[in-house]
């Protein structure tokens, strides 16, 4: 074994040892926020969430269909008594949310979520 082969071997061993560290997931947390929907407001279980993946668990406690839109993503319409989810990745900032059924946001189905 000459010096070059030895150096290559050491470099390879270092790479292999370093690989698991690089493959580790980021520290960004996954958060779930329960959103109660009713006429005409949203009640969120959290008003502030850490940045990262946020799953909104949407529960319609009202009597008509509602949806939930945040950060350009919109859930399907959720019927009375039904639930659904919407998952988004959020960076730091303030994110307005609303129900896109005509008239609902104006009636109160809107708000802002703070992402830290």
Question: Among 75, 92, 95, 78, which residue's Cα sits nearest to residue 38?
Answer: 78
Please answer whether residues 107 and 99 qualify as being in contact, where contact means their C-beta atoms are separated by less than 8 angstroms.
no
Shortest Cβ 108–Cu ion spacing (Å) = 9
Q: Name the minimum Å distance from CB 99 to Cu ion.
A: 3
Residues in touch with Cu ion (CB under 5 A): 66, 99, 101, 104, 109
Residue 37 Cβ vs Cu ion, minimum distance, rounded to whole Å: 7
Q: Which is nearer to Cu ion, 63 or 89 (CB)?
A: 63
Q: Which CB, 84 or 104, lies closer to Cu ion?
A: 104
Element (H, E) at 12: helix 3-23
| Closer to Cu ion by Cβ: residue 33 or 58 | 58
Residue 56 class from Cβ within 10 Å (0-12 exposed, 13-18 middle, 19+ buried)? buried
């Amino acid at each position: 074994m000459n010096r070059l082969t030895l150096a290559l071997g050491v470099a390879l061993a270092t790479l292999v040892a370093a690989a698991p560290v690089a493959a580790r997931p980021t520290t960004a947390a996954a958060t779930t926020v329960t959103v109660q929907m009713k006429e005409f407001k949203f009640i969120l279980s959290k008003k502030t969430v850490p940045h990262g993946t946020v799953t909104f668990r949407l529960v319609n406690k009202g009597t008509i269909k509602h949806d939930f839109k945040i950060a350009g993503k919109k859930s399907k319409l959720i019927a009375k008594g039904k639930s659904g989810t919407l998952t988004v990745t959020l960076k730091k900032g303030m994110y307005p949310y609303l129900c896109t059924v005509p008239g609902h946001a104006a009636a109160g189905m809107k708000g802002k979520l703070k992402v830290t």
